Amino acid sequence: MDLERFREICINRCGLDPAKVVLAAFSGGADSLSLVVLLHRAGFSVVAAHFNHHLRTRADQDELEAGLLARKLGIPFISGGGDVPEYIRENHLSVEEGARQLRYRWLLDTAEKKGAQALAVGHTADDQVETVLMHLLRGAGMDGLAGMPDRQTLPIWGTDIPVVRPLLSYWRDETESLCKESGLVPLQDDSNASTIYFRNRIRHELIPFLRTYNAKVKNHILQTASILAEEQTILSDVKNKAWDTCFIEQRDSCICLDMDCILNQQEGLRRAVLRQAIAILSPGIRDVDFQLTARMSEFVQNPTRSGEMSLTANLWIQRTNDRVSLWNGKPGLIISHPQLESGDIVKIPEPGIYSLRGWELDIVEDDLQSAWNSIRSGKHTNRVWLDYERLQFPLEVRGGIAGERLHPFGLKGKSQKLSDYFTNHKVPRQARGNWPLVISGDNVVWVVGLGIGEGAAITPKTKRVLRFSLRFPALPPNG
């Protein structure tokens, strides 16, 4: 292997600094052995890190021999392990996925403790081809078909330390040749030959079959992945602009997007925005396939009666009157909807700031011209203006009463059942009982966050106005 070419890849494509430590994942196989050899020869300060999965009878012996190999090369060695069988039982994972998660968790944690600039892994061009085929068979989009990047961060593990792949341009037979030429005998993992595992079936069955159609199929797949990765860099600007336009906020368990913005996106961009929301909220989901994004897009356009839908075991999507929210776990009402405690009545003796179960209702006298400049179409959201002199203090904020009616602004004095009003505004049924209403005398003057009533709407005769703003404490009011 050309050492200068390898060094150039490390510096320019993987972003490595020769003066800083690199932690290298080291199983002792041909790929990882070649990786540490090349990093060492290219002048990088490398530490070999071996993770013992405790899956094979020779796992402890492999750990011992990996340490001997590293020391023979004069490379510092560190090892650790995890109970993969127990982990996959507790988390209902496949052996492949459970082993991968525990391995990366330990490697990245070790890299952080050692002050390493990056974690280097020995993925080769063969691994890239297998990865692309795995994604293709699972129905992934362009992100998956572009394969693994030379450098990436994995936020699921809560660290900024990047994972780098300096061997993505080299084939497996090249790493085997390097070991042979260097007089090194790599460790052999018998499980690599087992077709129980999905990747191994692709390696030992699918790729040989594809080569009967085209002997250079691996090269062509690698080239296609490279082309798609380059095109992704161009498309990313468009996707990022769509994301910036649609994104509202992120909280611990959910990401909120602007519903109108999402609906106005072209289908491809709508799905891209929804995929990005999943990637941020649940980075552990490896393949967001066509069916999943298609279900999400369809739900955004035609929501279920409840306004929410389960996507995976722990991932939900919810649509409210002005938002589309992705949730880790079943959607909560307080964050996405203003809610009162059941039976609560909040007295409003005068303008001021009042608490509504985590939300805040801010009432302040405002400039009359500002009120007239606002949109009075009846489609107000979290900020409205009402005629001060038409309000009867003290006001009340309470939930709806069975059979209650209101006179929505814009219906020219006609009344409407509150239940029908909620239906028209697509309020989920489970959120209706404790939805706050602002009451003046016997009139509903504001269905909080949805629209105002005729009883206190500003008119040409209005002289003084009150501005009512609803907000979650961490957020500015919108409207």
pLDDT of residue 91: 79
- Residue 431 dihedral angles phi and psi, to the nearest 5°: -95, -5
- The CATH code that applies to domain 3-213 is 3.40.50.620
pLDDT of amino acid 217: 96
| 239 vs 242: CA distance, rounded Å | 5
- CA–CA gap between residue 145 and residue 232 (Å, rounded): 10
According to the model, what pLDDT value does residue 474 have?
40
Give the C-alpha distances (Å, rounded to integers) separating 8 from 4, 14, 332.
6, 9, 50
pLDDT of residue 262: 94
Measured CA to CA, the distance from residue 49 to residue 122 in angstroms comes to 12
β-partners of residue 469 are: 362, 383
CB atoms within 10 A of CB 18: 13
In 3-state terms, what secondary structure has residue 262? helix
Among the listed residues 382, 386, 378, 381, the one whose alpha carbon sits nearest the alpha carbon of residue 457: 386
pLDDT at 178: 96
| pLDDT value, residue 375 | 53
Main-chain dihedrals φ then ψ at residue 79, nearest 5 degrees:
-140, 160
Angle formed by the axes of helices 30-41 and 172-181, nearest 10° = 70
Residue 478: predicted pLDDT = 41
Query: What is the pLDDT at residue 180?
Result: 95
Check if the beta carbon of residue 215 is closer than 8 Å to that of residue 209: no
The pLDDT of residue 258: 93
Q: For domain 345-471, give its CATH number from 3.40.50.300, 3.30.930.10, 3.50.40.10, 1.10.10.10.
A: 3.50.40.10
194: tokens are 């087992």
The predicted pLDDT at position 477 comes to: 40
Spell out the alpha helix ranges (H) of 202-351: 207-211, 217-246, 259-264, 267-281, 290-301, 333-336
pLDDT digits (tens, 9 = 90+) for 247-287: 998 877 889 999 999 999 999 899 999 988 988 887 666 66
Contact between 324 and 257 (Cβ < 8 Å): yes
Determine contact, residues 315/278, Cβ cutoff 8 Å. Answer: yes
Answering whether pTM is above 0.85, one says: no
- Which positions of the chain have pLDDT values less than 70? 283-287, 313, 321, 332-336, 374-381, 472-479
Tokens of 436: 């706050």
Q: Where are the domains of the chain?
A: 3-213, 235-335, 345-471
Under 8 Å between Cβ of 188 and 29? yes
Architecture of the domain defined by 235-335: 2-Layer Sandwich (3.30)
**Distance (Å, whole) CA 213 – CA 216:** 9
Report yes or no: 167 and 31 within 8 Å, Cβ to Cβ: yes
Taking residue 227's Cβ as centre, other Cβ atoms within 10 Å add up to 12
